[in-house]
Chain A
Amino acid sequence: MLLRADRLTKTFADTVAVDQVSFELKAGETLALIGHSGCGKTTTLKMLNRLIEPDNGVVELDGAVASGMAGHEWRRRIGFVIQNAGLFPHKTVAENVLVTPGLLGWDRARQQAKLHELLDMVGLPARDYAHRYPAELSGGQRQRIGLARALAGEPDIVLMDEPFAALDPLTKDGLIADIARLRRELGFASVLVTHDFGEALRLADRIAVMDGGRIVQTGTARDLIASPANKVVEDLLAAPRLMAATVGRAFGEGGS
């Protein structure tokens, strides 16, 4: 197992945000944490890289226990992508991407090689973009640089917190395709937090549905559709199902 989360628990001011959440992730695998706002999915994600320290529970990566090292050292081994990219506005694209390699003490040649490789991979070649500032990029471009920054330290796992929420549908489609391709090429595992079943469907090998701080069902998309464990899962599927039926009918009529 690459990642193991064991009975993670977090309480904020008498409210249990995450209650005994456990799951495992194989190398290269993608797990989607899906659920409505306040279900505890983001808190769970941030406990994995210790942006939030769990009250109870254990996180293990490659056999190493999270609490066994300093938080910043732990996080240098894990990529993190957030909704609005969170790029450092006073640093250039190159400086943003190379923060983690710099902190890891890579030499200059290795850093430059990584910069060119990643910027080519996300379709923003270094020649044109390395010296730009985040303010000079579009939302989708910023998110791609955020992705490149998360991958720069060559992590085995990348955590993604609603990475597509602020993007228009077309940009979002492109980015989803890019992430899928990068996963194939680089082989990293990932945990994706989203409230959109469609995103989970397209990127995740397995989907964990959360509600009230607990995982209520884990399985492939097919498993969930075939046998939803409870009403929460059913509700979550209702909208995509309706959409699929409508879209299918429209395409069916148009096609015949």
Chain B
Amino acid sequence: MSGLFAEEWAVFPGHYAGHLRLALGALLMGLIISVPLGTLVARRQVFAGPALAAASVVQTIPGLALLALMVPLMGGMIGFWPAFTALSLYSILPILRNTIVGLQGVDQDVREAALAVGMTANQRLREIDLPLAAPVIVAGLRTASAWVVGTATLSTPVGARSLGNYIFQGLQTRNWDAVLFGCLISAALALALDQVIGQFEKAALKRSRRHALAGGIGLALVIAPALSLFVEGGTSRRAAGNPERPAATVSLEGQTITIGAKGFTEQYILADLLKRTLEAKGARVEIRDGLGTTVAFDALASGEVDVYVDYTGTIWAALMKRDDPAQRSAMYARVSAWLLNERGVMAFGKLGFENAYAFATSPQTAAGNQLETIADLSGKDLAIASDPEFFGRSEWTRTRDAYGLQSLDPRSMDSAFMYDAVKNGEVDLVTAYTTDGRIDAFDLVLLEDTLSVLPPYDAFILLSPEAQESAALLNALEPLQGAISTELMRAANSKVDLERQSVSQAGAWLYEEVSPASE
């Protein structure tokens, strides 16, 4: 397919099916839990209050946080189930609230009359209470539907495929087409589901077959775009969790490898590179991208993901909780040992480049404040932007204390926007990634770390406990060791961030660069 949104349509069935599965599943779960629960507590004010309060508390937790919390709560599981669980919690409140309110709103005379004509309590519930509360309950279902379809886009960072994959990847790689596409489809799905629910509601109230038919057709139309995936991908169940050791050492034929990636451009490109590398050996590859740092690692340790790329400094600080500085090679050695001993994860070689944090500023700011080294920042009243992870790490506090940077004003910002912000002078400093193509393109000035406080960030391949048993996989990945220089990575990143190429174009380019002997 070519033309408008061609890239996006190519992965549409999978993203859409994942989104639909999450949304419909969560709504169904919300109904299954909320209607009986609401029915049970509606007549008991002692319970109705606390039930509503509990559901409201869930609602006040931001969607992204609730989704991310599910991962540790469910023992490091990523993908469908944590997202499904969080979304189900979200769909409970509006349905529960409306079930309770709807039932409490049924006219008391009518309820008394129902008993007076000889109905049992259950008959009254079925014949009178629920039908009369139905419009209110359905209104709750519609609210839940809008919330769940929207919030499902936040499932991407916990590894569940959804329309959010468009949005997260689009935001990170500044591909606004993808962001727009994800939003449009998600909104269209929300509207369509609302219509479907409306038709079924009319069908139930008026006992109209015409509306039931319309609802059925609508639902079929909503589900249809997802079906192409099940036809084509029916056999693609994950196999990497299987402990059996493949005999072959060369071919990955018939194996499914799951590649993880965090949510920024370099990670998307590296995942694409890994995918091409493994597919060349016959593997079937699934990508879980847009994952948060700890989510990605937990998923690897638990075997949900087989392989991904992380950075020594990240593991050192975020997982090993070390805040002392270390020499570059020594850190890799210690990180490798720790990963294997503590988590059973294998560090399978450095890729060759380092993606460290560097304090960067615009030429104008550098000149105006006479900035050359980080030490020059001491006592200056300047705004510094970084990704939220950085300010939470000890390397920030350590750098701050070492150089006396207490006067700086830290601002958390998505890394996609940092470079434009510093270029346009909206902030004075950013913690740039050293592989980012925009450092060169925007003429950013990197401040020298004279005290060597900022830790090294060597990119290296991590393998799950199961994956490291596969000799074929190790063989397939081995050529990548040391194959990517900082310049090469920066060039690949600029293709996406500056030249507006797609991730797969940049991935293909990088693949050609690192495997010159392309078999």
Binding site for B on A (CB under 8 A): 49, 51, 70-73, 75-76, 80, 82-90, 99-100, 103-104, 146, 149-150, 153
Contacts and interface: CB of A to CB of B under 8 A. Distances in A.
B337 interface: no
Interface in B353-375: none
Contact of B113 (A72, A86, A90, A104): A86
Interface stretch (B117-125, B285-293, B341-349, B454-462): B117-125
Contacts of A72: 115, 118-120, 123
Given A51-B112, A80-B113, A88-B110, A73 B118 contact: yes
Contacts of A153: 117-118
A75 B109 contact: no
Contacts of B116: 49, 51, 75, 80, 82, 86
B118 A82 contact: no
15 contacts: A49-B116, A72-B115, A72-B120, A72-B123, A73-B118, A86-B110, A86-B113, A88-B128, A90-B132, A99-B117, A99-B118, A99-B119, A100-B118, A103-B119, A150-B117
A99 B127 CA distance: 10
A75 B118 contact: yes
Contacts of B131: 90
Interface of B: 107, 109-110, 112-120, 123, 127-128, 131-132, 205
Contacts of B113: 80, 82, 85-88, 146
A82 B115 CA distance: 12
B356 to A, nearest CB: 68
Contact of A86 (B109, B119, B205): B109
A228 B117 CA distance: 37
Centre residue among A71, A86, A89, A150 by max chain B CB count within 10 A: A86
B57 to A, nearest CB: 33
Given A80-B116, A90-B205, 6 more contacts: A75-B118, A86-B113, A89-B132, A99-B119, A146-B113, A149-B117
Contacts of A51: 112, 115-116
Nearest to B134: A90
A3 to B, nearest CB: 16
Nearest to B110: A86
A163 to B, nearest CB: 12
Given A89-B132, A90-B131, A90-B132, A75 B115 contact: yes
A89 B107 CA distance: 10
A87 B109 CA distance: 8
A203 B77 CA distance: 75
Given A72-B120, A103-B118, A82 B132 contact: no
Contacts of A88: 110, 113-114, 127-128
Contact of B117 (A70, A80, A89): A80
B132 A75 contact: no
Contacts of A99: 117-119
Nearest to B135: A90
A234 B205 CA distance: 53
Contacts of B127: 88
A88 B120 CA distance: 15
A82 B112 contact: yes
Nearest to A149: B117
Contacts of A85: 109, 113
B48 to A, nearest CB: 21
B147 to A, nearest CB: 28
Contacts of A71: 115
B110 A89 contact: yes
Contacts of A86: 107, 109-110, 112-113, 116
B519 to A, nearest CB: 71
A55 B120 CA distance: 21
Contacts of A76: 117-118
B347 to A, nearest CB: 67
Nearest to A75: B118
Contacts of B119: 72, 99, 103
Nearest to B132: A90
A86 B115 CA distance: 11
Contacts of A80: 113, 116-117
A19 to B, nearest CB: 23
A104 B117 CA distance: 10
Contacts of B123: 72, 103
Contacts of B132: 89-90
A87 B131 CA distance: 14
7 closest A-B pairs by CB: A86-B113, A76-B118, A80-B116, A86-B109, A72-B120, A75-B118, A99-B117
A146 B109 CA distance: 12
A87 B117 contact: no
B392 to A, nearest CB: 56
A90 B126 CA distance: 13
A82 B109 contact: yes
A153 B123 CA distance: 17
A85 B131 CA distance: 19
A89 B114 CA distance: 12
Contacts of B107: 86, 89
Contacts of B118: 72-73, 75-76, 99-100, 103-104, 153
A83 B109 CA distance: 9
Contacts of B114: 88
Most interface-central of A71, A87, A99 (chain B CB within 10 A): A99
Contacts of B205: 90
A255 B131 CA distance: 58
A244 to B, nearest CB: 33
Nearest to B115: A51
Nearest to B128: A88
Nearest to B116: A80
A22 B20 CA distance: 66
Nearest to A104: B118
A100 B115 CA distance: 10
A65 B438 CA distance: 91
Contacts of A150: 117
A249 to B, nearest CB: 40
